Chains A and B, each alone.
Chain A
Amino acid sequence: MAYAGGLNSPSGRDSAPGPRFFFFAALSIVLMYFDQRDGWSERIRYVLQAAAYPIQVAVGSPRQLWVATHDLFESRGSLRAENAELQQRERQLAVTAMRFEALEQENARLRALTDSLPPLVKRSQLADVVNVDLGRQRLVIDKGDHNGLYRSQPVIDATGLVGQVVRLGPWSAEVLLITDPEHAVPVEVLRNGTQTIAVGSGDEAELRLPLLPATADVKAGDVIVTSGLGGVFPAGLPVGTVLEVVRDPDEILARVRVKPRATLAQDRQVIALWFNPGHPAAPVDPSLARDLPEAPLAQPVLKPPPPPVPAATAPAAAKPAPAPAAATPSPASAGQESR
């Protein structure tokens, strides 16, 4: 039907563009309607996502090729230096891990639990980044539904939080970076447990904490970690470091800039995480999240998580609602270990 028009006719008028345009326009509007509502269009998208994957790989390939050739010609000397550096870091990490184990045991005792906690991370999946789209602040990775990934799954790299899965294809997934302006992470200041929300700035080198009052106890150099509220991210993943705090006497809120910990745009491999729902720091069970209807990104992706998390903070994850999330240390939140 595509070529039904007369190519050879001088005007092309007999191809009757009017009715056909009407048909396609109606189809588009129906699609948009269903995409706004829930669920149904998700299946079409899933198929289209699979069809689009080759294009995404092809389009990302020049960068991949550049990276690969760079690897190929890396000199022996630099490799040896890198090796030495990695060994040293591994030793340091081993020491930290030893301490960590002891602390975890102690923590479990303090919580008066009979046996030690299950590990927070049940399973992790390494995925290659096949395409980086900085305009839209997204990564395309080469693992998808067939590897068990699920929507709104947290994704990290070796240094910190990267983002969450927003679109799922059979063999690929799109990860929305935490620096996207539409993305918000419930976080806390590690030093004192002040809770707030980190919103992306659209620049992959910066996050903002737009909801902290000017009197909040936060200063440059503070480490920001996920607070475990909101039901998507677990507690305690490093998000970034505070770059600067501007307190303008005319404004009620402080302007806080945060540098993300993860090397978002330069990442070549990322890690998708699954959690043990039994662990107090874990977000809600993915099987619950999977049944949820598609929600626009600007709204919270999840329904209010189970009891331990105060319900009031969940909606605040998305719309910058002024008061609730900001200052009060929540009474019995899941991941909070500060008291």
Chain B
Amino acid sequence: MFARRESALLVWITALIALMITVMPLPKILSVLWPNMLVLVVLYWSTMMPGAGGILIGFLGGLCLDVLTGSQLGQHALALSLLCYLAIRLHLLVRAKPLFEQALFVVLALLVYEGVLWAVDGFSAQGTGTWTRWVPVLTGAAVWPLIAGVLGRLHAPR
């Protein structure tokens, strides 16, 4: 078993890398499809090691997204905190399921996440975007096995 401190470090470093992948400048078409890696990674750690990052990582990660994507301060932070909370609460339900079923949960989780962003956009009378904002929900679920595979490899040797 990893020491607690070490696994916390692993969580924060992978989250930082995921954040950078998320905000990477991309060609237009790719940027529509691009899944939010940070959300997926935070989701993974919240289900697999609910104690390591906690909700704090969701909040701080969301805040970084707010600044880097220029959205309202606190918008992504709220959505990602909520996602973290749900994942920590339901982690026993999801953790042992096969990858395919996990991916279904990921679709639900990403729908909740995007739904919060959408609602906040609506409440604050900003444009709620086009349908393309929902595309990453599906692509996110599609890359979930990859994320789970890579991150699982990272903390598996215990």
Question: CB within 8 Å of B: which residues of A?
Answer: 1-9, 11-12, 15, 17-18, 20-21, 24-25, 27-32, 34-36, 41, 44-45, 48-49, 51-52, 55-56, 58-60, 63, 131-136, 138, 166-167, 174, 181-182, 203, 296, 298
| CB-based contact B78/A32 at 8 Å | yes
In the bound complex, CA of A21 to CA of B124 (Å) = 22
Contacts of A55 in B (CB 8 A): 19-20, 23, 64, 68
Question: CB within 8 Å of A: which residues of B?
Answer: 1, 4-5, 7-8, 19-20, 23-28, 31-32, 49-59, 62-64, 67-70, 72-75, 77-78, 81-82, 84-85, 88-89, 91-92, 120, 124, 126-127
| CB-based contact A17/B20 at 8 Å | no
Q: How far is the CB of A180 from chain B (nearest CB, A)?
A: 10
| Contact for B78 among A28, A44, A51, A135, CB less than 8 A | A28
Contacts of B8 in A (CB 8 A): 2-3
Known contacts being A5-B54, A35-B73, A131-B25, is A24 close to B67, with CB within 8 Å?
A: no
Contacts of B74 in A (CB 8 A): 27-32, 35
| CB-based contact A3/B73 at 8 Å | no
| CB-based contact B25/A7 at 8 Å | no
Identify the interface centre among A1, A32, A133: most chain B CB within 10 Å of its CB. A32
Q: How far is the CB of A116 from chain B (nearest CB, A)?
A: 42
Closest 9 CB pairs of A and B: A31-B74, A12-B50, A28-B78, A7-B51, A5-B51, A21-B85, A32-B74, A135-B31, A28-B74
In the bound complex, CA of A29 to CA of B25 (Å) = 29
In the bound complex, CA of A51 to CA of B60 (Å) = 12
Contacts of B85 in A (CB 8 A): 17-18, 20-21
Known contacts being A45-B67, A52-B67, A55-B23, is A7 close to B4, with CB within 8 Å?
A: yes
- Apart from A21-B81, A27-B77: 17 A-B pairs, beta carbons within 8 A: A1-B56, A2-B56, A3-B51, A15-B50, A20-B54, A21-B82, A36-B72, A48-B64, A48-B67, A51-B67, A52-B64, A56-B23, A56-B68, A59-B25, A63-B25, A134-B31, A135-B31
A-B contact pairs, 5 of them (CB 8 A): A28-B77, A28-B81, A36-B124, A48-B63, A136-B69
Contacts of A36 in B (CB 8 A): 72, 124
Known contacts being A1-B56, A21-B55, A28-B59, is A44 close to B23, with CB within 8 Å?
A: no
| CB-based contact B52/A7 at 8 Å | yes
Contacts of B31 in A (CB 8 A): 134-135
| CB-based contact A25/B68 at 8 Å | no
Known contacts being A15-B88, A29-B78, is A35 close to B72, with CB within 8 Å?
A: yes
In the bound complex, CA of A136 to CA of B133 (Å) = 13
| CB-based contact B51/A9 at 8 Å | yes
Closest residue of chain A to B75 (Cβ to Cβ) is A32
In the bound complex, CA of A9 to CA of B4 (Å) = 12
Known contacts being A17-B85, A32-B78, A41-B73, is A133 close to B25, with CB within 8 Å?
A: yes
Contacts of B68 in A (CB 8 A): 52, 55-56
| CB-based contact A32/B120 at 8 Å | yes
| Contact for B88 among A6, A17, A32, CB less than 8 A | A17
Q: How far is the CB of B78 from chain A (nearest CB, A)?
A: 4
Contacts of A60 in B (CB 8 A): 25
Q: How far is the CB of A205 from chain B (nearest CB, A)?
A: 11
Q: How far is the CB of A112 from chain B (nearest CB, A)?
A: 47
In the bound complex, CA of A249 to CA of B26 (Å) = 40
Contacts of B19 in A (CB 8 A): 55
In the bound complex, CA of A25 to CA of B1 (Å) = 32
| CB-based contact B73/A15 at 8 Å | no
In the bound complex, CA of A63 to CA of B24 (Å) = 10
| CB-based contact B54/A135 at 8 Å | no
Contacts of B124 in A (CB 8 A): 32, 36
Contacts of A181 in B (CB 8 A): 127
Contacts of B28 in A (CB 8 A): 134-135, 203
Contacts of A15 in B (CB 8 A): 50-51, 54, 88
Closest residue of chain A to B91 (Cβ to Cβ) is A12
| CB-based contact B72/A25 at 8 Å | no
Q: How far is the CB of B93 from chain A (nearest CB, A)?
A: 11
Q: How far is the CB of B88 from chain A (nearest CB, A)?
A: 4
Contacts of B23 in A (CB 8 A): 55-56, 59, 133
In the bound complex, CA of A166 to CA of B55 (Å) = 31
